[in-house]
Amino acid sequence: MARRYEHSNNSSQMREVLQQGQISEGGHRERDHSSKDRSSQASCCSSSSSPSSSSSSSAQGGAGDRRAGPGGRGGQRAQGTSSCSRSVQLNFSRTHTVLIDVSVFNLAVGIIPQEGRDMWNSNFVKMPCSPSSVMTTKVGLMKQNTQVCRWDVISKQLKALASKKEVSVDEVEKAVIKYNPKYKGQWTFDALSAFVKCIPKEENYFPTLFPKIAALALRLPEQMKKAIPLLQTGHTAAITLSQVQISCLLANAFFCTFPHRNTSAPNTEYHGYPTINFSSLFGNWSKRKKEKLRAIMHYFNVVTDEKDKPKGLVTFERRCLRDEDMPHWRSCKDKMAKLRVALHGSIETDGKGMLQVDFASSWIGGGVLGSGLVQEEILFLINPELIVSRLFTERLADNECLIITGSQQFSSYSGFGDSFEWAGPYEDYLERDDWARLRRQILAIDALNFKHVREQYSMVKVTRELNKAFCGFKGHGHNEPDIATGKWGCGAFNGDPQLKALIQLMAAARARRALAYFTFGDRKLERELQQIYQLLVDEGITVEQLFRHLEDYCAVQQAHGFTHVDLFEFITNTVRPSRSQL
């Protein structure tokens, strides 16, 4: 996600260009000079497979029983309160856990939590309200160390906060430290405190909001009756939760209640998972933290309001590209996919209805709970429901991606990095599919981080990036949406914009999906990418041929030492002579 610009290509325009002939079957573009920002709401086809048929229609069972295929389809808005059953049933399968009652949902009666049981082992999220979660505290006149149920301590503190009309940051800190005594003196709340103090009185609703967040966190046992499986490395699997369940989980993250999640040291149980408790967001005041907290607090202000409470579902799907599904890039005969290059606009705004690429960290969410404020962190701040993925998503491997379907955008923003600012509430008018998910799909794929720019000019690295992009772009059904992307890995990770653009174009060609590429105001890249794409189309270049050109380019780049060779110029000079000799 780059800086906000006045944009000229909205999602409906972009789709028309890609799918309805402004780029012909041969790939020839008709340039669109329109500068109007037409507002239109686009529907998005799910990129997941069709729902699996279940072996049982029962919605009852213990942990691990309630499964569903993640790709529910249907064009009508699903509110969850209709008097008739749904046209596309929410089913379950062995690889998709659904944490709401499927039978009740399919009857369109409402959304209620699925019954189940607590699981305290390495395959599930260890919950704050689990009877197995204990802590040592001093009790009695002799102040003897005694093990007590940690949730008893948590609920006592949160109930005290929830019972008040207003709560100060000091009271929040004292409550959190009460059940996290190990971190007394280590965790600071200066950022949260400075934030509350610096907001003008007429906008400062936070002291009255803290009790509401505490009350929401206390609902955890009633909302999460069934264990949440971990999305582990090497396994394709998915989880569907209600937006209310997500809000409850995030309220607990706000009050730092999740056990065994306060350190990521190599020898700890959750060393392969991102942090989830908000302690790192509350300390080390900065302007960035101020703007992050404005977005987070606005989210909680909405979800704690009964009349504005979200009423849908969200699916989190980890996909693992199997060895047998890895493309043979040196023998891939696919020609270039349709491409639309946009100078202005943004992925999340103009890519509505498309599969929107999150330029992710392998640790989902990156530095969203710290100081990071680039594309992924901004995406997670304006769609805070994405943050819950950090609770159960293990670090992504080279052949894996995460797709989130149905998250809601709550905030508008401007800027990027140090210039990022929360720009107020966002009204999300996207329609919902038959699974009551907003028609928004976000694809998290992590690019390689090159400490030195020259490291990327290796076919081992190029192939890794091709496989990573293909893992996310690969279709799993019919009528797959187009892909909205941009300068993936080209900021702090030092990726070459030209190379990364061709890698994504090749992956999209193999996946047979059209690509909308946002240059975020980079006029030079826009012009050059259009020119090289037209050359590749005119010359009928296949993925196989382009891969071989990249092999030659990497060899030349390495031979030139520290002198940079322009990739697009190299390919132009290579392709045109070979054509003239025919």
Average the pLDDT over 182-186 and give the result. Answer: 95
pLDDT in tens, 216-239: 999 999 999 999 999 999 999 999
What is the pLDDT at residue 17? 54
User: Is the pLDDT reported for residue 48 higher than 90?
Assistant: no
DSSP of 229-258? BPB-TT--EEEEEEHHHHHHHHHHHHTT--
Considering only CA atoms, which of 507, 500, 503, 505 is closest in space to residue 474? 507
DSSP-based three-state secondary structure for 215: helix
User: Which of the residue ranges 8-22, 130-144, 558-572 would you say has the lowest mean pLDDT?
Assistant: 8-22
In angstroms, the CA 77 to CA 62 distance is 31
**Who wins on pLDDT, 430 or 77?**
430
8 A C-beta contact, residue 482 and residue 350: no
User: Is the pLDDT reported for residue 35 higher than 70?
Assistant: no
pLDDT in tens, 450-462: 999 999 999 999 9
**Active-site residue numbers?**
358, 376-377
Averaged pLDDT of the chain: 87
Q: The tokens 């100078």 sit on which residue?
A: 343
Q: How far is CA 293 from CA 193, 283, 287, 364, in A?
A: 11, 11, 10, 19
pLDDT in tens, 198-214: 999 889 999 999 999 99
User: Which of the residue ranges 55-59, 142-146, 514-518 would you say has the lowest mean pLDDT?
Assistant: 55-59
- % of the chain beyond a pLDDT of 70: 84
8 A C-beta contact, residue 146 and residue 137: yes
Considering only CA atoms, which of 15, 35, 17, 39 is closest in space to residue 351? 15
